[in-house]
């Protein structure tokens, strides 16, 4: 039996972060903490998109599943993100081709599209009202980036047969997005955006309807590998044939071997006061989500109640910037100076987990502990896909999961104490590159 790994509990459970997402959902059912001992087929750590996706897929196959959540459903990135549902991964296809070869890269690409389909299928099958809208634009700020978008489109069309992309010249781009900051764009009709907290809460309702037992405010203090695997909280114990680690940036110190492959990074978003339908459509004509292609990027979209949700900035120290609301408003005004009269009503942040190569990190430990992490900002679709592939692997069909697990991942240098300063130094190069013409 592998020695147990202990996770210290640093702070008591928190409610949802003070965000527009949390303010815009109706009161939701709460789930009691785990008390006592429970035996199931699969124990899932983390009630976000990945964990709930795996729980649903396993329960649909008749397995007994328990989900342990340290805070509450959707507390982490799954309930705080920009809500952009995007094809592919943060590591683009040409990088994936170099990492694993063209055949495996094609499987990864097909999986990314399956992740988009899975969001749509789950929303429809389980009647999840998550304000899903189709349409996404990658935006170029300079000629070099416009050429990158054109190359990207040709490559995806020629190699992968992807026909949902449309290149936007300057006039077309500025008609779609009312900002002189962008000179070109790449529109994808297959991607889109949604309300991430409503989607995650909907997944939890779907899981519960299938018999999945969800326990909130149940942080793990110990994982013991073996058969069965044990997951211990302060008040209870789950014994299971298999364990799924789906905490991403919030499972640090649980298993140091996989922790070294990811870096938690702070990212931030704000929501304006209500602008009204007419003004929102003047900003984003077709209600698409938008993200520029800088390394430190801006991303934005309109909400169903006609606010502008504007995200950007990163904190590699994970400390939020001072005066966050004003900081996000300043970033918004660089893109939309016509909103000078608009107040930013909400501003919040959270942690995402990135990998060195920006590809997602999948794997297993000891044959019955599965994990998926490091979605690097693409968790809406990729996180749900990861849960589905983990469920397939638990059931004995690991073909697609194993393609992801073969992606090579380096440790972040510097260990726990020095990896953040090392990353901050490395990011200086990328920030400078964003400034090049």
- Per-residue pLDDT at 433: 54
Instruction: For the chain, give every residue range classified as CATH 3.50.50.60.
Output: 5-80+197-261+357-424
Cα 162 from Cα 157, distance rounded (Å): 5
Options 1.10.533.10, 1.20.140.10, 3.40.50.1100, 3.30.9.10; CATH for 132-192+264-355 is 3.30.9.10
Phi and psi, residue 219, nearest 5°: -65, 145
Please list the residues that pair with 243 across neighbouring strands.
Answer: 43, 369
Global pTM? 0.93
Options 3.50.50.60, 3.40.50.2300, 3.40.50.1370, 1.10.10.10; CATH for 5-80+197-261+357-424 is 3.50.50.60
The residue among 341, 291, 293 whose CA lies nearest residue 311 is 291
pLDDT digits (tens, 9 = 90+) for 81-111: 999 999 999 999 999 999 999 999 999 999 9
Q: Give me 392's structure tokens.
A: 């397939």
- The answer for residues whose C-beta is within 8 angstroms of residue 426's C-beta and 6 or more apart is none
Residue matched to tokens 């297993």: 364
Number of H helices, E strands in the chain: 13, 18
- Per-residue pLDDT at 5: 41
Cα 60 from Cα 212, distance rounded (Å): 10
Cα angle 301-161-403, degrees, rounded to a multiple of 5: 85
Ordered per-residue pLDDT tens for the chain, 437 residues:
333 343 333 334 458 899 999 999 988 889 999 999 999 999 999 999 999 999 999 999 999 999 999 999 999 999 999 999 999 999 999 999 999 999 999 999 999 999 999 999 999 999 999 999 999 999 999 999 999 999 999 999 999 999 999 999 999 999 999 999 999 999 999 999 999 999 999 999 999 999 999 999 999 999 999 999 999 999 999 999 999 999 988 876 677 788 889 988 889 999 999 999 999 999 999 999 999 999 889 999 999 999 999 999 888 776 778 899 999 999 999 999 999 999 999 999 999 999 999 999 999 999 999 999 999 999 999 999 999 999 999 999 999 999 999 999 999 876 555 455 545 544 544 454 555 56
Q: Strand ranges (DSSP E) for 25-132?
A: 36-45, 65-68, 84-85
Cα 424 from Cα 422, distance rounded (Å): 5
Cα 152 from Cα 165, distance rounded (Å): 10
Cα 318 from Cα 80, distance rounded (Å): 15
């Amino acid at each position: 039996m592998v020695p147990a790994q202990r996770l210290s509990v640093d702070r008591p459970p928190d409610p949802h972060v003070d965000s527009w997402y949390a303010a815009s959902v109706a009161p939701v059912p709460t789930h009691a903490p785990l008390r006592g001992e429970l035996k199931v087929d699969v124990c899932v750590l983390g009630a976000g998109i990945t964990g709930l996706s795996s729980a649903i897929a396993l329960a649909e196959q008749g397995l007994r599943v328990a989900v342990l959540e340290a805070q509450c459903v959707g507390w982490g990135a799954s309930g705080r993100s920009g809500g952009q549902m995007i094809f592919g991964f943060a590591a683009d296809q040409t990088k994936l081709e170099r990492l694993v070869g063209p055949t495996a890269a094609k499987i990864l690409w097909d999986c990314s599209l399956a992740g988009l389909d899975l969001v749509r299928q789950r929303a429809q099958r389980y009647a999840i009202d998550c304000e899903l809208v189709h349409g996404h634009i990658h935006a170029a700020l300079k000629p070099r980036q416009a050429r990158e978008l054109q190359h990207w489109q040709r490559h995806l069309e020629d190699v992968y047969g992807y026909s949902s992309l449309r290149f936007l010249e300057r006039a077309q781009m500025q008609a779609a997005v009312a900002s002189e900051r962008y000179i070109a764009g790449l529109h994808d009709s297959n991607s889109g955006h949604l309300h991430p907290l409503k989607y995650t809460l909907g997944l939890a309702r779907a899981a519960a309807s299938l018999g999945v037992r969800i326990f909130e405010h149940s942080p793990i203090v110990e994982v013991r590998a073996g058969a069965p695997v044990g997951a211990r909280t302060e008040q209870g114990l789950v014994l299971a044939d298999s364990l799924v680690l789906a905490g991403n940036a919030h499972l640090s110190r649980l298993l140091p071997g996989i922790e070294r492959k990811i870096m938690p990074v702070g990212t931030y978003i704000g929501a304006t006061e209500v602008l009204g339908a007419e003004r929102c459509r003047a900003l984003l004509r077709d209600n698409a989500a938008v993200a520029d292609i800088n390394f430190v990027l801006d991303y934005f979209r309109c909400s169903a109640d006609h606010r502008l949700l504007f995200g950007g900035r990163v904190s590699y120290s994970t400390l939020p910037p001072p005066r966050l609301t004003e900081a996000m408003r300043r970033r918004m005004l660089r893109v939309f100076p016509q909103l000078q009269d608009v107040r930013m009503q909400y501003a919040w942040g959270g942690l995402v987990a990135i990998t060195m190569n920006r590809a997602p990190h999948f794997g297993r430990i000891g044959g019955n502990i599965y994990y998926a992490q490091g979605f690097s900002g693409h968790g809406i679709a990729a996180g749900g896909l990861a849960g589905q592939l983990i469920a397939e692997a638990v059931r004995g069909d690991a073909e697609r999961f194993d393609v992801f697990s073969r992606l090579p991942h380096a440790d972040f240098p510097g260990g726990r104490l020095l990896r953040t300063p090392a990353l901050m130094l490395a990011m200086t190069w990328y920030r400078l590159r964003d400034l090049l013409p």
